[in-house]
Amino acid sequence: MEKIISFIVSIVISFVSLIFPFGETNAIETVKIDGATYQNGFVADNMHLKGEYNLYKEKPVYRDYVFTLALGYWNNYYQIEDNWIFRNENTGWGVNIKKELFCPVEEWDRLHSYYEDGNNYDYYYEVCVESGDFTKYDVQNADTTKFDEIIQFSVDNEYGSTSKNKAETITLPNTLTPVIRFYKESKDGLFTTHTTKFIVYEGNLYFQRHDNVAAGTMEVSVLPNELETYFISLLKSAGLE
């Protein structure tokens, strides 16, 4: 009887969430696998597992199906990096819903402190001009706060986002304009995070939102002055303006 009631409640909640969507939360979750308990929530939303982890070739160590009235999905848990667990939520049709890492509960405090500390990352930017290949530049003594800000700016202002700073429409440059990405990597080699395209146009650094080739224009987002000044100075130090 309890299972039937629980099933009915889950249907009601799913139906309500369809009509009144809840905002995304960062609630900490735990999962028990082979007798060990793992916990998530210790890294920023913009962090990504580095690309060399090809999880699609691996068999999950544990998986469960989550039923919702709107769309059911699988929680696939993969074993990586010794006792780390990576959860990949997907619809079963190749559509990813959410990806995140879990660590043993007894390690949570230590790892949370590690990934919150900007000194535990290496900072870079990449520039692409003509070949399609990016040239990587190491940033020494990086302003870690500024890097976090520009990474978040990139997320907030990407094309299709509902939140954006002041946007401008500029004429597409007649010559090839360098594409620039700013990013950081955790020193343990596990995580990376980066921005999408920035360009330097008439001495200013812009976030490139959308190209309208037919109209010969580009929609860009304007950076706050302090943020633009810092990253323009980095580019100048490498002879890129």
The full set of domain ranges for the chain reads 2-115, 117-237
What's the pTM?
A: 0.75
DSSP structural state of residue 24: P
For residue 106, CA distances in Å to 26, 39, 103, 114, 116 come to 20, 9, 8, 14, 17
Q: Which pLDDT score, from 0 to 100, does residue 70 have?
A: 67
Give dist(CA 205, CA 232) in Å, integer.
Answer: 7
- Write down the pLDDT at residue 134: 80
pLDDT digits (tens, 9 = 90+) for 135-164: 889 999 999 999 999 999 988 888 777 666
Dihedral, 31, 41, 94, 179 alpha carbons, nearest 10: -160
Per-residue pLDDT of 43-69, as tens digits, reads: 766 777 776 566 666 788 988 888 877
144 versus 93: which is more confidently predicted? 144
Strands in 73-80's sheet, in edge-to-edge order, are 30-33, 36-39, 96-104, 84-90, 73-80, 62-66
Q: Is the predicted pLDDT of residue 109 greater than 90, yes or no? A: yes
Question: What is the structure's pLDDT at 8?
Answer: 42
pLDDT per position as a tens digit, 159-198? 777 666 778 888 887 666 788 999 999 998 888 888 778 9
Q: Is 182 helix (H, G, I), strand (E, B) or coil?
A: strand
